[in-house]
Amino acid sequence: MTELQFWQLVSTTDPLADSDHLANSLTEKLTPLGNEELAAFDKIFNQKMRQAYTWDLWGAAFVIAGCNSEFAFAEFRCWLISRGQTIFEQALANPDSLAKLEIHQKDEYANPYLDEYDLIAGQLYENRTEQELPFVPSGQTQPQGKRFKDKARLVKKTYPELFAKYWTG
């Protein structure tokens, strides 16, 4: 599994698709893969999740949708990965760039979350083999970087475009 193949499998073409549609689409794409390919896909997915485990991105998720828990931030990172390589890399370099995206709405609020998207390959593998994919700990207990400040004036300074588009606090 190359990174190009990974991004072809995980990237959505519909920026406003809901989480069920995206999960079903990824499941359909992964189902034909062999067990070794599933394991390789899962490894790359987990590398991308660790790469996006930063306070800067968590701050962006906080501004966009009030993201305030580890679980929600994992779902946010899954959503970010589903946007594709270009958006993912732009967001790593400049989280405020996410203001340019259209984000699926739920109850009139931005909903940049994909529940259990990161578990799909492992579930398929386990259904086939009755064994879990090997767990590789990230080695990180905290996101990389410095924790974001959630005061309005500091959020506005750090994420000006996201603040203008999403801040309701």
Residue 136 has pLDDT above 90, yes or no: no
Counting DSSP H helices and E strands in the chain, the numbers are 9, 2
Residue 91 placed within a domain = yes
Mean of the pLDDT values across residues 15-21? 88
- Joined together, the tokens standing for residue 121 give 């390959």
Q: How confident is the model at residue 138 (pLDDT cuts 50, 70, 90)?
A: low
Task: Provide the domain limits for residue 105.
Answer: 10-166
Residue 116 placed within a domain = yes
Residue 109's DSSP bridge partners are 106
Residue 1 placed within a domain = no
CA gap 38, 42 in Å, rounded: 6
Q: What is the pLDDT of residue 139?
A: 65
The model's pTM is 0.94
8 A C-beta contact, residue 52 and residue 88: yes
**What's the domain count of the chain?**
1
Residue 5 placed within a domain = no
Q: What is the pLDDT of residue 48?
A: 95
Residue 147 placed within a domain = yes
Rg (CA), the chain: 16
Per-residue model confidence as pLDDT tens digits over 20-75: 999 999 999 999 999 999 999 999 999 999 999 999 999 999 999 999 999 999 99
